[in-house]
Structure 1
Amino acid sequence: MAQEPHNLQDLLDHIERAARKHDQVSLATVMEAVGTRSFGPLLLAAGLTTASPLSGIPGVSTAVGLMVLLIAMQLLCGEKEFWLPQWLMQRTIDHRKVSRAFEWIRPPARLIDGLLRPRLIALVRASGRYVIALVCAIIALGMPAMELVPFSATGAGLALTAFGLALVSRDGLLALAAFGFTTLTLGLVLQGLI
């Protein structure tokens, strides 16, 4: 079982080490790298994928949304280890695209890690985790529509990343910011669809 990442750079290291071993990086490879028992790292990995240039690949945002929805629902039902269907786990991306996306993500990751610390911990523990899971499920349900509104999937990815980071670093202040960013993103998507 993978050791749980403690910050954004640690998560990137886990995924990158696993990705180097394969020509095609599957969702199963990513989940194995970050572990299947913790919502925060999985949510963070999903958010980074959606916020990165990888979201420009048709269908990636929808696939990530489905993954987030399934994991959020399992958390809400009290599951201890997360499960995804095999067809979704076998979905792959070329390892060179993953490497390029990580080159883009690493500089801000160092900056972000320096800003995070445990605070307002009640917002990311117990019932706070369930509220975050519910909001993430709502984001996930909107992901297919976000493929139609330019750059909205990136906004959703940033919200998911912020929620994941908040859970990993136990930073409730970041969770509060993520709630606000989610409201803004979903509002822009609705406006773009009307």
Structure 2
Amino acid sequence: MAGEAIDRESESSPGDLSRLLARVQRAGDHAESVSLKAILDSLGRRSFAPFLLVAGLVTLAPLIGDIPGVPTLMAMLVVLAAAQLLAGREHIWLPSWLLRRRVSRARFIAVIRWMQRPARWIDRLLKPRLTLLIRQPAHLPVAMTSLLIALAMPPMEVVPFTANGAGLALTLFALALLAHDGLMALLGYLLTFGTLALVIVGLA
């Protein structure tokens, strides 16, 4: 069931960002490039949060998130994962062409190192609280809002800074699920609607 996928967050992944980044850094071992499949496999694909976390961090990251088309690619990842979660699928399927997308290891490691310092600061803020905002059935609005963000991400590529806002919102939702922190989910909702408002104004 969809709720079970959310409830398994604490079983499938660590609840802090620093350990998650350490796990991701080992993705693909010592290959010259790292695939999306290797990154997701390093986090575990039995739950929704890793999909949100990868999409959010990649969209936020310099050297990768600024590449044209990357926010749209991450949007596709979230759309597929969120739609299957809302449909009640227990295991999330992704097409092989998406899983084969790769980035050079040098760029990948540079991004991970860039994230490590803010990750330690973020970890000090995370703790279980306001859990009613992420427990069933409140996990469904998280999935629906993530889907809304993803559907709006392609136009964000032409409105400055809005894709970064979307990436941060997805990251907040992922951390909320992993750390059982409803405050992160609340911040994610606020950031989502603020970002969508900027997109509407920017496209008007």
Smaller-chain TM-score bracket: over 0.9
The code of the aligned residue for 1:164 comes to: A
State whether residues 34 and 42 of structure 1, in contact with CA within 8 Å, keep that contact through their aligned partners in structure 2.
no
Which position in structure 1 is the counterpart of 2:201? 191
Which position in structure 1 is the counterpart of 2:32? 23
Which position in structure 2 is the counterpart of 1:61? 71
| Secondary structure in structure 1 of the residue aligned to 2:202 | helix
State whether residues 36 and 83 of structure 1, in contact with CA within 8 Å, keep that contact through their aligned partners in structure 2.
no
Which position in structure 1 is the counterpart of 2:167? 157
1:149-185: per-residue Cα shift (whole Å, max 9, x none)?
1221111000000000000000011111110010001
State whether residues 123 and 172 of structure 1, in contact with CA within 8 Å, keep that contact through their aligned partners in structure 2.
yes
The code of the aligned residue for 2:107 comes to: K
Match of 2:130 among 88, 106, 120: 120
The total of aligned residue pairs comes to 193
Which position in structure 1 is the counterpart of 2:139? 129
Q: Structure 2: any 5+ residue segments left out of the alignment?
A: 1-10
The code of the aligned residue for 2:73 comes to: A
State whether residues 162 and 195 of structure 2, in contact with CA within 8 Å, keep that contact through their aligned partners in structure 1.
yes
State whether residues 66 and 140 of structure 1, in contact with CA within 8 Å, keep that contact through their aligned partners in structure 2.
yes
1:7 Cα deviation after fit: 1.2
State whether residues 12 and 47 of structure 2, in contact with CA within 8 Å, keep that contact through their aligned partners in structure 1.
no
Q: Structure 1: any 5+ residue segments left out of the alignment?
A: none
State whether residues 14 and 34 of structure 1, in contact with CA within 8 Å, keep that contact through their aligned partners in structure 2.
yes
Query: In structure 2, what is the Cα distance between the partners aligned to 1:134 and 1:193?
Result: 23
Match of 2:58 among 32, 45, 49: 49
Could you list the runs of 4 or more consecutive aligned residues of structure 1 that deviate by over 3 angstroms after TM superposition? Answer: none
Query: In structure 1, what is the Cα distance between the partners aligned to 2:25 and 2:60?
Result: 17
More helix by share: 1
Fraction of identical pairs, as percent:
45
| Secondary structure in structure 2 of the residue aligned to 1:84 | coil
Query: In structure 1, what is the Cα distance between the partners aligned to 2:50 and 2:24?
Result: 11
CA RMSD of aligned residues (A): 1.3
The code of the aligned residue for 1:18 comes to: A
